[in-house]
Amino acid sequence: MAIKTKGFMGVALLILVVVVLIIFLYSPETPQKPVITPTPFPFPFQELTIPSLMARGYESTLANLEKLSDNRNYTSYLTSYKSDGLRVYGLLTIPKTASDDSKFPAIVFVHGYIPPREYQTKVNYVSYVDYLAKNGFVVFKIDLRGHGNSEGESGGAYYSEDYIVDTLSAYSALKSSGFVDPKAIGLWGHSMAGNVVFRSFVVSKDIPAIVIWAGAGYTYTDLQEYMIQDTSYKPPPTGTQRAKERQRLREIYGNFSPDNWFWKQIPATNYLEGVTGAIQIHHAVNDNVVSIEYSRNLNNLLKQTSIVHELNEYQSGGHNLTGSTFNKAMQKTVEFLKNNLSST
């Protein structure tokens, strides 16, 4: 009988333990840990985001220089470099000096929107390049991918990382050129390239200075508010990779929203902490393509930071800052770059 009682007590004790565990685990007073679904990593279009652009590399070098023209102030060459495995071409202009071992300040010059089939390396922006080169700057006017002889498909500025990669790869190529002061390389951009050089500037925080002429698309909310009235714009043909990617982007994340976790990572204005370079902005009040409000809005945001910046407004000149405005804007551009592109 003692053996049976002992066995019975063991079974009863086991049942009691099980019951207590069940009550403990399923008691409404016991807090349940929330189930957290992690953000997919990597997620679609992660490469567009500022954090992703900050994390990647842009190493590149210049190819052979093919002499194009020569005058008493500078020599112009055609050359190229690699960007994302693509061969990107450009016009490289090098000033002449008395000393052969001088290292020049330099500018990566990024063109605005021009229909890719109409873009001409030796024609577009030549007066800008001439002015800057005469004032002692190496100017590398790059033909963004899909333009001129550059490989690849034109990806657009605002919803693609392509032109940022092209710009920062050109920046890297100049740094390793041997004839450029690696600490004195700035960026210049017009129109859509305002977005390109601004994002590049924030991504690569060692760029000492950028200049923007009539730029657009900084907060991305501004694109929705002010729009762009460019009659020369030709959307990518249906069926192209760019058109397919744009459609897929919208299907996944919808239109831009400043409150969306993905879209928050696209505007460079959300990542201004730690930027130490200087920004100069030029815009004409009568610009009927890109509203001057883009530049005014950016300028107001920069006032809330420690970033050195200035906005120059002009009553005339239009989107390309032509006529007398061109000379005024170029003179201010040169003065600004000379003051801010110095390794001393």
The answer to whether residue 5 scores a pLDDT higher than 60 is no
Tens of pLDDT, residues 159-211: 999 999 999 999 999 999 999 999 999 999 999 999 999 999 999 999 999 99
Tens of pLDDT, residues 99-117: 556 799 999 999 999 999 9
14, part of any domain? no
Quick one: tokens of 97? 């000096």
- Asked if 156 and 241 count as a contact pair (C-beta separation under 8 A), the reply is no
Tens of pLDDT, residues 129-141: 999 999 999 999 9
3-state secondary structure the chain: CHHHHHHHHHHHHHHHHHHHHHHHHHCCCCCCCCCCCCCCCCCCCHHHCHHHHHHCCCCCCCCCCEEEEECCCEEEEEEEEEECCEEEEEEEEEECCCCCCCCEEEEEEECCCCCHHHCCCCCCCHHHHHHHHHCCCEEEEECCCCCCCCCCCCCCCCCCCHHHHHHHHHHHHHHCCCCEEEEEEEEEEECHHHHHHHHHHHHCCCCCEEEEECCCCCCCHHHHHHCECCCCCCCCCCCCHHHHHHHHHHHHHCCCCCCCCCHHHCCHHHHCCCCCCEEEEEEECCCCCECCHHHHHHHHHHCCCCCEEEEEEECCCCCCCCCHHHHHHHHHHHHHHHHHCCCC
20, part of any domain? no
The pLDDT assigned to 301 comes to 98
Q: Of 32-41, 191-200, 291-300, which range is least confident?
A: 32-41
With 0-12 / 13-18 / 19 or more C-beta atoms within 10 angstroms meaning exposed / middle / buried, residue 7 is: exposed
- Asked if 242 and 155 count as a contact pair (C-beta separation under 8 A), the reply is yes
Any idea what the CATH number is for the domain that residue 57 is in?
3.40.50.1820
287, part of any domain? yes
- For residue 195, what are the domain limits? 46-230+240-340
30, part of any domain? no
326, part of any domain? yes
Q: Name the domain count of the chain.
A: 1
- Give the mean model confidence (pLDDT) for residues 294-310: 99
241 pLDDT band, cuts 50/70/90, is confident
The pLDDT assigned to 59 comes to 98
39, part of any domain? no
The answer to whether residue 336 scores a pLDDT higher than 60 is yes
57, part of any domain? yes
34, part of any domain? no
